[in-house]
Amino acid sequence: MNIIIENKRLKGFIVDREEKILELCGNMSVLHLGCADYPYSIVQHKTGKLLHERLNKITKRLSGIDLDQDGINYLTSLGYGNLIKGDVEQLDKLKIRETFDVVVAGELLEHLSNPGRFFESAPSVMNAESVLIITTPNSHSLKRFARALFGRELIHPDHVAYFSPATLEHLCKRYGYEQLECFYYLSEPGNSIKKILFLPLKWFIQALAPAIADGIIFVVKKG
């Protein structure tokens, strides 16, 4: 059997990750997966950057699922309800009786031991018109490659995988999802000096090479 290797053109442009999520979720019923992001959520709340908080302001109805009970407790202490402790790889076993216009899986896929199981179970909370928003680090990231040249890798201790636009598209197709849109995003450096040093690289990536940005945003629906 001859396998035809694909030579794919990488499409998409740079957007602000959270602003794109908010744009797609406005006035919608939304299920936010991995909603707690604990303990980072403590600082995010103090600085007004907590995504669940921002979603709550613009959605018609918002629910959240997270595996971390401490994170669920923290969001509850902030006054948020409709929170479920659960495994996103087993959404179908949570017996959620409603479906949502938008399911947000932001910076989640790279944490999962079995991403295919997530894709199999996600339709249990979706209807025929629902969209799934996936954001994940980009395996083609220039920053990641540059660090590797010096024998270094900067990685979250809970990350177990990287995805490229092509491999993420293949994974979605394998489980019957149709890609609607693809975007890329950049992560801003934490301090002012790094932000200034980062500007030329940011301009280069935005203008000429979005496919080597830090992360990927996929908008898909069940086919």
CATH of the domain at 181: 3.40.50.150
pLDDT of residue 1: 67
- 59-79 pLDDT, tens per residue? 999 999 999 999 999 999 999
**CA atoms of 221 and 223, how far apart (whole Å):** 6
**Other CB atoms within 10 Å distance of the CB of residue 198:** 16
DSSP 12: -
Is the confidence at residue 152, as pLDDT, over 90? yes
What pLDDT is recorded for position 191? Answer: 72
Q: Which amino acid is at 72?
A: I
What is the total count of domains within the chain? 1
Say if 31 falls within a structural domain.
Answer: yes
Q: Which helix (H) or strand (E) holds 133?
A: strand 126-137
pLDDT tens digits, residue range 166-216? Answer: 999 999 999 999 999 999 999 987 777 777 778 888 899 999 999 999 999
Is residue 4 assigned to a domain? no
At 108-118, the pLDDT tens digits run: 999 999 999 99
User: How much is the pTM?
Assistant: 0.95
Residues 33/96, Cβ–Cβ less than 8 Å: no
Domain extent, residue 109, equals 17-222
